[in-house]
A and B are shown apart, each in its own frame.
Chain A
Amino acid sequence: MSGELLLEAVQAGIEFGGLRALHGFDLEIRRGDLKGLIGPNGAGKTTAFNLLTGVYVPTHGEIRVGGERVNGRKPHQINRLGLARTFQNIRLFRGLTALDNVRVACLSDERPVFSRERIDGVRRRSSGRSPVAQVMDALNNYVDWWRAILLTPGFQAEEDELTRRAEELLKVMGLSHRRDEEARNLPYGEQRRLEIARALGTRPKVLLLDEPAAGMNTREKGDLMVLIRQLRDQFSLGILVIEHDMKLVMGICEDITVLDHGVTIARGVPERVRQDPKVIEAYLGDSYLASQGLPVPPQAPTSETPVT
């Protein structure tokens, strides 16, 4: 398995004051990967997601999307490079219909005045912040609003295209019957699926799922496992899953990273990770290890350790 390298974290880390929430985090996601990120509560899993998606700016190391360094970029810019996520505590646009939730994400890539490629070209040539590119971008945006206000035929066609794409995604996620229902009125499992549909709307290359099975029953979890695999194949994505449910993670992930107190304590195929004493210790405590007659590993550095 060695698809195109899509997302990469190199020794990434972040400190909040003196607290090392995440330290020396390495990750590689290639096209077709299905990787897992596990760890006990407060291990830094969601922090890792927030670093990757640009919610936090890493204080150490580097995040690269498609080979491009994205430290300090805004979440929406990183999203546009092909990184989409779902949230641990569902964050749908509750007052919008299911269709509109997806349509918000289905942003049109057609720019009215200057094409995206052209702006990106200008940006690349000037290496970094380019006022020219910013002006071009601004002009695009304002013209785009005018097209909406004047309701030009081209704009109507684009809107229809967005709607069609959103409807397709709803169909893939089995939510077509909820098209015009407000997101807040959907049952829990469907809200989770709608969040995935919304993430897919942004045309991601990498999909980050933050505890997609939380609150689901066994049958729904089974369906979800099938669905996640299907999504990867259908959209040829790289997927990273945070999950508490061991059965689900072990069942679908080909590679698992285990975090504890912000530090990666194990990595590898599910069978190996499952037997790793450090992992067992992190999850079950060393009294369990001792009772099983297993060796107790040396203390892992904890997040409470002050940074010197």
Chain B
Amino acid sequence: MPAFLRGVVPVLIAIAVLAVLQLVLGGLPFFVYIASIVGVNVILAVSLNIVNGMTGQFSIGHAGFMAVGAYTAGKLSLLLKDVAISGLPGVVSDQVQFLGTLIAGGIAAAICGFLVGLPSLRLRGDYLAIVTLGFGEIIRVVVQNLEVFGRALGLSGIPQTSSFFAVWFCVFLVVLVARRIVGSTHGRSLWAIREDEVAAEAMGVDTTGYKVRAFVISSFFAGVAGGLFAHFVPIINPGSFTFVKSIEVVVMVVAGGLGSTTGAIVAAVVLTLLPEALRTLFLQLGGLDTGASLAQKVDQIRMPIYGILLVILMLVRPQGLFGTREIWDVLPRWIPRARKGIT
């Protein structure tokens, strides 16, 4: 394949495949909703994996960046609700605005990532964990107390312009970015930082700069995930972006294997669908009295099950499901490889 095509062909293929899927499955609201939730979690897990997995830093405030993206994009969409771009049909205009708000959400989160990362990534060790933990909580509390963001009630009435295509195209993009970074000289530098920061620095790798850049990219995609989220759930409120959400994402990355994009994807899908599967299972088993209380009961035991599964996983496979391996390591030769430089 000519060099200039290697960059764009995967994107074109993805657009075609997702467009077909959108036409086939776009009419199933429940499926699209679940697929969107799964997609957002995949974006969060894959983007966090760039920092926690590949670079070996430990960020536990991903929900904070997601919140920044969600509120930025959601508020912008609300402001632009009655505005249409002239000369374009209504649907197209909505989608263009949607795209714009997503990018704005991503950039807002990226700026936050830069501001949070620059001071804390200069240091080695656990400072990043503490700072990101604090950041996540600060964002939540700030949003909870600002009238513009609806305080504890959150934002409602955001146009539901998201679609299966939009979410999964973003999933595709984040995976592509993660994969290409890993396969490039930059990814190798990140990996070197994870393996031995002192040696990486001695070999001419600007460790602080690399860590900050990885963190900014990761935050950007968390913001995009938040933006998507805001456009398919009926209401966003501070309760959606608590510390528990951050931990959920960390769990996905660790369970999938720190450093494995494939692992992050698989873990995100499985851990998101697990509660849904449990709900179906309980219904099939006869369930309890009413649907509502059943859903609550399932939700109540969801966390213990989560915990037990993770304990088992960590006992059996401490390196996570995939370790640092990727699915494309075992794919046929004709698929171009990018993993840790095996070109």
Which A residues lie at the B interface, using CB under 8 A?
53, 55, 74-76, 79-80, 84-85, 87, 91-97, 99-100, 103-105, 107-108, 141-142, 144-145, 148-153, 155-159, 162-163, 180, 198-199, 201-202
- Main secondary structure, interface of B, reads helix
A93 touches which of B4, B186, B191, B213 (Cβ 8 Å):
B191
Known A-B contacts A55-B198, A93-B195, A159-B185; A151 and B6 likewise in contact (beta carbons under 8 Å):
yes
Contact of B203 with A84 in the complex, beta carbons under 8 Å: yes
Contacts of B6 in A (CB 8 A): 151, 156
Is B240 positioned at the interface, with any CB of A under 8 Å from its CB?
no
Closest CB of chain B to A115's CB: distance in Å?
A: 17
Within 8 A of A (CB), among B313-342: 324, 340-342
Contacts of B186 in A (CB 8 A): 144-145, 148
Which of chain B's residues has its CB closest to A166's CB? B341
Contact of B192 with A96 in the complex, beta carbons under 8 Å: yes
Contact of A148 with B181 in the complex, beta carbons under 8 Å: yes
Number of A-B pairs, beta carbon distance below 8 Å: 117
How many angstroms between the C-alpha atoms of A149 and B213 in the bound complex?
13
Closest 6 CB pairs of A and B: A148-B184, A151-B7, A153-B3, A93-B195, A91-B199, A79-B204
How many angstroms between the C-alpha atoms of A97 and B342 in the bound complex?
9
Known A-B contacts A55-B198, A75-B202, A159-B185; A142 and B213 likewise in contact (beta carbons under 8 Å):
yes
Is B180 positioned at the interface, with any CB of A under 8 Å from its CB?
yes
Which of chain A's residues has its CB closest to B217's CB? A145
Known A-B contacts A96-B191, A103-B341; A87 and B199 likewise in contact (beta carbons under 8 Å):
yes
* Max chain A Cβ within 10 angstroms of own Cβ: one of B4, B177, B202, B204: B202
Known A-B contacts A76-B207, A141-B209; A91 and B198 likewise in contact (beta carbons under 8 Å):
yes
Closest CB of chain A to B203's CB: distance in Å?
A: 4
Closest CB of chain B to A33's CB: distance in Å?
A: 21
Is B205 positioned at the interface, with any CB of A under 8 Å from its CB?
yes
Closest CB of chain A to B338's CB: distance in Å?
A: 9
A155 touches which of B184, B206, B343 (Cβ 8 Å):
B184
A145 touches which of B4, B181, B199 (Cβ 8 Å):
B181
B196 touches which of A92, A97, A150, A153 (Cβ 8 Å):
A92
Is B101 positioned at the interface, with any CB of A under 8 Å from its CB?
no
Closest CB of chain B to A140's CB: distance in Å?
A: 11
How many angstroms between the C-alpha atoms of A84 and B200 in the bound complex?
11
Closest CB of chain B to A252's CB: distance in Å?
A: 23
Contacts of B198 in A (CB 8 A): 55, 91
Is B188 positioned at the interface, with any CB of A under 8 Å from its CB?
yes
Contact of A105 with B204 in the complex, beta carbons under 8 Å: yes
How many angstroms between the C-alpha atoms of A101 and B338 in the bound complex?
16
How many angstroms between the C-alpha atoms of A85 and B201 in the bound complex?
11
Other than the given A100-B188, A151-B6, A152-B7, 4 more pairs (CB < 8 A) read A53-B202, A145-B217, A153-B4, A198-B203
How many angstroms between the C-alpha atoms of A75 and B206 in the bound complex?
9
How many angstroms between the C-alpha atoms of A230 and B213 in the bound complex?
39
Closest CB of chain A to B254's CB: distance in Å?
A: 17
Contacts of A79 in B (CB 8 A): 201-204
Is B189 positioned at the interface, with any CB of A under 8 Å from its CB?
yes
Which of chain A's residues has its CB closest to B3's CB? A153
Contact of B324 with A95 in the complex, beta carbons under 8 Å: yes
A163 touches which of B187, B203, B343 (Cβ 8 Å):
B343
Within 8 A of A (CB), among B268-321: none
Closest CB of chain B to A216's CB: distance in Å?
A: 20
Which of chain A's residues has its CB closest to B7's CB? A151
How many angstroms between the C-alpha atoms of A141 and B186 in the bound complex?
10
Contact of B340 with A97 in the complex, beta carbons under 8 Å: yes
How many angstroms between the C-alpha atoms of A88 and B318 in the bound complex?
30
Contact of A93 with B192 in the complex, beta carbons under 8 Å: yes
